[in-house]
Structure 1
Amino acid sequence: MPVRVAENSVPSQVSGTNSEHTSPPACTLLSVGQAFSGTQNVSSLQKEEAWRVNVRIQGCDLEHGYLCGTMEALNVPMADTPVVTFWEGEIVDTKNYTFNTGKWEATPDDDKRHWMKFQCFEPLLSQVEVDGGKSLNLSNYPYIFMRWKEQYFVNVGTDCGLTIAGFYYVCFSCSDGSINGYYYDPNSSPFQKLELKSTNEGRSGFSFSSYELQ
């Protein structure tokens, strides 16, 4: 299933380069059980439509740059029920993962075009162009950049009419827990936007239907 990047203000100061790799800032809003809700705008030559989307984080390991979770898309035209997928994510921490994707049919130019959609990425661009951002110290940066790759459908078959061949470029705001991103798949409509906000009531404020992940 195919995610936007909010027009957040650019941080007044960018962390300098550092030979020591440190994990991204710990954030209580990016933790196991946290739920988010919002919309995904899906556009085509014929029309533009917005799906309601819910996301829940099922696992998070900042030390190894890993997280995973479920994504539930509602009011999908070709589906009779909400469509749930399981995704795994790479956290750009310059230790485990850099801004260079290097897979999933994404070229360096694709990476640059998508990361540049995030206003808060602009202060990092010059260093990313030099070494993929390997020498950046992102430990105190107020945003966390990630890639989310859907792995399989949880509650429907692959004949549901949707594709999970692509992946999301994602930006997470540590200040308010908002998640914004763009879906990339060379065979799908470009720059499909996802905008999510952390649910106000924390872990108890949103309830998914029960699904068993295998």
Structure 2
Amino acid sequence: MPVRVAESSAPSLAPGQDANPEHSLLPACTLLSAGQTFAGTQNVSNSQKDEAWKVNVRVHGFDPDHGYLCGIMEALNVPYAETPVVTFWEGEIIDGKNFTFYTGKWEATPEDDVRHWSKFPSFSPLLSQVEADGGKSLNLRHYPYIFMRWKEQYFVNVSVDCGLTIAGFYYVCFSCIDGSINGFYYDPNSSPYQKLELKSTNEGRSGFSFSSYQLQ
């Protein structure tokens, strides 16, 4: 389902606001915190086949003051894998203070950034200001969506020669309205626009359980 945009929540520039802001604090969002879990799918289809992996995600760390979060991602039905494939990822929260909408690494150009962010309907009201300054002067405090980048750092339970790649990263949009996550994977050497769709599974911390993994 497409992400809904709250009609009265369009961001704006604060009076006298510049690119230095305490305005860039995140909205109070109880659905995104350490311990939160999500479940859904990642579409990895290409021109030869239609394929989707079941995916579980757990947030392990969440530091909104520094625009940081981290967690693990578990893909359950990866072809030729004898067990679920688990990766550790770190995230950048787009707040205009720590991180902007422009990635500046991982082979992503500003054009790539705008093209991928624009796939989220909730990004539409932000586009003109992002094109102007990367979104540094946007006031996102009351915006009901949180934009992030998730970068897988290493495989937790399989070797690097497992036939999979974690060279790319995810453009992510989180809804503070219902706790849903939509994302698109970017890697110039992989199928474009692999879509990640997740829903919160434990608003009361009673969601699914992961197997035990040691993070290094």
TM-score by length of 1: 0.95
What is the 5 A alignment of 1:1-214? 6-13=1-8, 14-18=10-14, 19=17, 20-21=21-22, 22-200=24-202, 202-214=204-216
Query: Any conservation in 1 of the 2:40–2:197 contact (CA below 8 Å)?
Result: yes
195-204 vs 37-46, greater mean Cα deviation: 195-204
Task: State the AA in 1 paired with 2:179.
Answer: G
Cα distance in 2 for partners of 1:64, 1:26 equals: 15
Cα distance in 1 for partners of 2:55, 2:88 equals: 13
Query: Any conservation in 2 of the 1:78–1:160 contact (CA below 8 Å)?
Result: no
Cα distance in 1 for partners of 2:203, 2:148 equals: 24
Cα distance in 2 for partners of 1:107, 1:78 equals: 33
Cα distance in 2 for partners of 1:90, 1:200 equals: 23
RCO comparison, higher one (Cα < 8 Å, 6+): 1
Task: State the AA in 2 paired with 1:176.
Answer: D
Pairwise CA distance, 1:26: 2.2
Percent sequence identity is 75
Cα distance in 1 for partners of 2:97, 2:115 equals: 22
SS in structure 2 at match of 1:149: strand
Pairwise CA distance, 1:201: 5.5
Aligned residue in 2 for 1:3: none
Q: Deviations over 1:149-185 (max 9, x none)?
A: 0000000001111100000000000011001100000
SS in structure 2 at match of 1:202: coil
Q: Deviations over 1:170-214 (max 9, x none)?
A: 000001100110000000000000000000463222100010111
Q: Deviations over 1:128-153 (max 9, x none)?
A: 11111100000110000000000000
TM-score by length of 2: 0.94
93-102 vs 200-209, greater mean Cα deviation: 200-209
Task: State the AA in 1 paired with 2:106.
Answer: W
Pairwise CA distance, 1:118: 0.1
Query: Any conservation in 2 of the 1:60–1:68 contact (CA below 8 Å)?
Result: yes
Q: CA-atom RMSD, angstroms? A: 1.1
Structure 2, unpaired ranges of 5+: none
Size of the aligned set, in residue pairs, is 209
Cα distance in 2 for partners of 1:91, 1:205 equals: 24
SS in structure 2 at match of 1:204: coil
Task: State the AA in 2 paired with 1:17.
Answer: L
SS in structure 2 at match of 1:146: strand
Query: Any conservation in 1 of the 2:31–2:203 contact (CA below 8 Å)?
Result: no
